[in-house]
């Protein structure tokens, strides 16, 4: 199976306002995405999903983020099951939409039989960036 990884393209705009990241699906199949964020105020990882992005579609996924925020994603296509994955192990719910706090803790994984581990791609906006686009190809 040919695995294609996301290309990170960060666009720097001089526009004021909150920073944001958009996912753009340039793959030949629909994509399911789970996202993660490190919540520094509580000192934990949180995951949320599943978000569907149709072929050729876009989705605003993170708003009001800063260059200090660590965020990420894990995604899979519907047809060929190509995976977009990284190295950060976090928990998702394979059965339904979810939001999981403490998604990096083994004790959280044991709370639900539908929880499983995925390897998320982590990223940050470059200093001064107000908008980033992640393209799935």
φ/ψ bin of 135: left (φ > 0), alpha (ψ from -120 to 50), beta (otherwise): beta
pLDDT value at residue 113: 94
Rounded to an integer, what is the distance from CA 127 to the centroid of its chain? Answer: 20
Give domain limits for the chain. Answer: 7-136
Residue 109 φ/ψ, nearest 5 degrees: -60, -35
Q: Give the 3-state secondary structure of residue 109.
A: helix
Q: What is the mean pLDDT of each run of 10 residues along the chain (137 residues)?
A: 31 43 87 89 90 89 68 83 89 93 94 95 75 79
Pinpoint the alpha helices (H) of the chain: 106-109
CA distance 99 to 46: 7
**pLDDT at residue 117, rounded to an integer:** 96
């Amino acid at each position: 199976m040919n695995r294609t990884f996301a290309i990170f393209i960060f666009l720097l705009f001089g526009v004021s306002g909150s920073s944001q990241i958009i996912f753009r699906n340039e793959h030949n199949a629909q994509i399911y995405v789970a996202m993660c964020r490190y919540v520094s105020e509580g000192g934990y990882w949180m995951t949320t999903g599943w978000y569907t992005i149709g072929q050729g579609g876009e989705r605003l996924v993170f708003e009001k983020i800063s260059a200090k925020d660590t965020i990420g994603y894990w995604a899979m296509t519907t047809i060929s099951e190509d995976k977009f994955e990284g190295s950060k192990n976090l928990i998702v719910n394979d059965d339904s939409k979810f939001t999981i706090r403490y998604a990096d803790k083994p004790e959280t994984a044991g709370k639900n039989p539908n929880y499983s581990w995925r390897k998320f791609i982590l990223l940050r906006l470059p200093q001064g960036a107000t908008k980033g686009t992640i393209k799935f190809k």
